[in-house]
């Protein structure tokens, strides 16, 4: 192929859009398509400011779909006529409730102590490993497309592995399912996942590095304060010894 002139290459580079970063704060709402509401407020497709769902807020869709970041480890996609509530939007221990409709969660990588707990009716689904999980509130069903999830319902618990589902509406029945079959929500989630994977990975790496740096700074402050206390205590002991020595000298002189 004949190489393009340098002037054309410069024009193409100037016209290429800059890669946007992804806000991975827990509850960050990035992709909005169709009818999406946070509380009673309808969200525009391209908000002028970042939108982050707070603890206790309900996110719901009409004829629409939405993408939500769940911190360092996970992304959630919710389909039409669905709703969820963020119970505890924390970077490492996220809790949410799927109130209606369907949601798909992808955990790119697990981590020590990282847990995503999704409440579905009376059941709780704990996801700790990298994988893809689908939750259908209407059917009361959990499906594990990849990874591993622990499902708790009353006094019963079951660990679902790849290709297994749990029917919670009709008791607690587990079975295999065909992972190759999917609907519009799964196709959209897979497309968005492929599109964002590198950017989300980079943002998560940067956030982990920021947190490690902050942890190192806090540790340095603790050690500095400890050294300061040790120096102060040592100075006080030396002062007390000096005072006792002076008192002893005064007693000797008055004899």
pLDDT in the model for residue 20 = 55
Write the pLDDT tens digit of every residue in 36-79: 999 999 999 988 888 999 999 999 999 999 999 887 778 999 99
Q: Which two tokens stand for residue 236?
A: 């006080």
- pLDDT above 50 for 30: yes
**CATH architecture of the domain with range 20-197:** Sandwich (2.60)
Reference 59, options 103, 113, 15, 115; nearest CA is: 103
Reference 185, options 115, 148, 133, 141; nearest CA is: 133
Write the pLDDT tens digit of every residue in 132-188: 999 999 889 999 999 999 999 988 889 999 999 999 887 788 999 998 888 999 999
The mean pLDDT value for 210-226 works out to: 73
What is the pTM for the complete model shown? 0.71
More confident residue, 202 or 55: 55
Write the pLDDT tens digit of every residue in 77-122: 999 999 999 998 777 778 899 999 999 999 887 666 678 899 998 9
Sequence spans of domains, the chain? 20-197
- pLDDT above 80 for 24: no
């Amino acid at each position: 192929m004949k190489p393009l002139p340098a002037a054309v290459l410069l024009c193409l580079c100037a016209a290429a859009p800059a890669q946007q970063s992804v806000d991975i704060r827990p509850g960050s709402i990035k992709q909005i398509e169709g009818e999406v509401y946070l509380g009673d407020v309808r969200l525009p497709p391209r908000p002028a400011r970042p939108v982050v769902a707070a603890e206790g807020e309900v996110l719901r869709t009409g004829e629409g779909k939405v993408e939500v970041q769940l911190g360092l480890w996970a992304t959630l996609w919710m389909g039409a006529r669905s709703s969820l509530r963020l119970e505890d939007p924390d970077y490492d221990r996220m809790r949410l409730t799927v109130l209606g409709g369907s949601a798909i969660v992808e955990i790119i990588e697990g981590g020590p102590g990282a847990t995503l707990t999704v409440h579905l009716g009376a059941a709780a689904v704990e996801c700790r490993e990298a994988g893809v999980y689908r939750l259908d509130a209407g059917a009361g069903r959990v499906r594990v497309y990849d990874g591993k999830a622990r499902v708790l319902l009353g006094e019963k618990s079951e660990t679902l592995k790849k290709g297994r589902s749990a029917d919670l509406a009709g008791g607690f029945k587990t079975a295999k399912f065909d992972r190759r079959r999917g609907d519009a929500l799964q196709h959209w989630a897979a497309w968005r996942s492929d599109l964002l994977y590198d950017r989300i990975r980079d943002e998560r790496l940067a956030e982990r590095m920021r947190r490690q740096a902050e942890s190192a700074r806090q540790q340095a402050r603790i050690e500095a304060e400890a050294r300061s206390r040790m120096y102060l205590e040592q100075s006080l002991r030396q002062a007390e010894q000096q005072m006792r020595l002076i008192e002893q000298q005064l007693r000797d002189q008055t004899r």
